[in-house]
């Protein structure tokens, strides 16, 4: 299977600070990658660098064979990079439906399909973004990214700060997205237990470098690695 997303020797950061000293990472089509690590290890910087909102000091980023290294973030979005940032960044002055139709591109992920996955968004389709709960805003952020019909979906801490019942709903939706295929996904998550069962592969970062790269099932079955890199003392079940 050919690689859909290819990152080669990427050096990136903010201002004069280099956070990623030389990242190389490849993702094939339909693979779901759990991006793990303690706080401050470079996970969000990697996501932001794929989106194009960090300072690049060197290296390249390619999508489906297209070099997107010098593209602006909006050009990368049109090329196939879908992004759900920690801040969600929904359009608060637009309705739920307007949030999605404003960015929609042709493809299998239509507004109607998003409503099937998130029925509560359909119920609130005429509500403005600032009238939604935190969980509903996250659903909308995911739905809006999908209506771009991206090739790569980037989710940065999608369950952070949400009630357990909403977390379960979002994880179920992410399972639906990943089973649909055609998109490779990178999901940043602090809590390994939440995401390893969903992902195909797990990468752990330390100081902006990959220190562990294996199948998710392998990491789930490796308590020593979980404790060493993530501080998880017990085996993930």
| Domains in the chain, CATH or no CATH each | 3-230 (3.40.50.300)
CB atoms within 10 A of CB 208: 22
The residue count for the chain: 237
pTM above 0.75, yes or no: yes
Question: What is the average per-residue pLDDT within 64-84?
Answer: 96
Under 8 Å between Cβ of 139 and 170 = yes
144-200 pLDDT, tens digit each: 999 999 999 999 999 998 999 999 999 889 888 888 878 899 999 887 888 999 999
Pairing of strands 152-156, 81-84: parallel
Q: According to the model, what pLDDT value does residue 233 have?
A: 54
Concatenating the DSSP letter of every residue in 182-215 gives S-EEEEE-S-HHHHTTT-SEEEEEETTEEEEEEE
100-159 pLDDT, tens digit each: 999 999 999 999 999 999 999 999 999 999 999 999 999 999 999 999 999 999 999 999
Q: 17 or 172, which is more confident?
A: 17
Is the pLDDT confidence value at 235 over 60? no
Question: What is the average per-residue pLDDT within 11-22?
Answer: 98
């Amino acid at each position: 299977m050919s690689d859909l997303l290819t990152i080669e020797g990427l050096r990136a950061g903010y201002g004069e600070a280099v956070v990623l000293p030389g990242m190389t990472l490849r993702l094939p089509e339909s693979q779901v990658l759990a991006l793990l690590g303690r706080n401050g290890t470079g996970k969000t910087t990697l996501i932001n660098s794929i989106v194009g909102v960090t300072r690049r000091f060197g290296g390249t980023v390619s999508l489906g064979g297209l070099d997107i290294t010098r593209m602006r973030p909006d050009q990368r979005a049109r090329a196939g990079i879908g992004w759900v940032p920690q801040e969600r960044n929904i359009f608060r002055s637009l309705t739920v439906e307007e949030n999605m139709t404003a960015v929609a591109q042709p493809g299998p992920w239509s507004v109607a399909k998003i409503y099937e996955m998130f029925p509560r968004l359909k119920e609130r389709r005429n509500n403005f973004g600032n009238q939604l709960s935190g969980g509903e805003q996250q659903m909308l952020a995911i739905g809006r990214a999908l209506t771009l019909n991206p090739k790569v979906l980037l989710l940065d801490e999608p369950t952070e700060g949400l009630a357990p019942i909403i977390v379960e709903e979002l994880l179920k939706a992410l399972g639906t997205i990943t089973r649909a295929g055609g998109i490779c996904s990178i999901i940043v998550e602090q809590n390994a237990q939440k995401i390893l069962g969903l992902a195909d592969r797990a990468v752990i970062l330390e100081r902006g470098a990959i220190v562990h790269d294996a199948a998710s099932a392998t990491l789930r079955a490796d308590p020593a690695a979980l404790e060493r890199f993530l501080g998880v003392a017990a085996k993930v079940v």
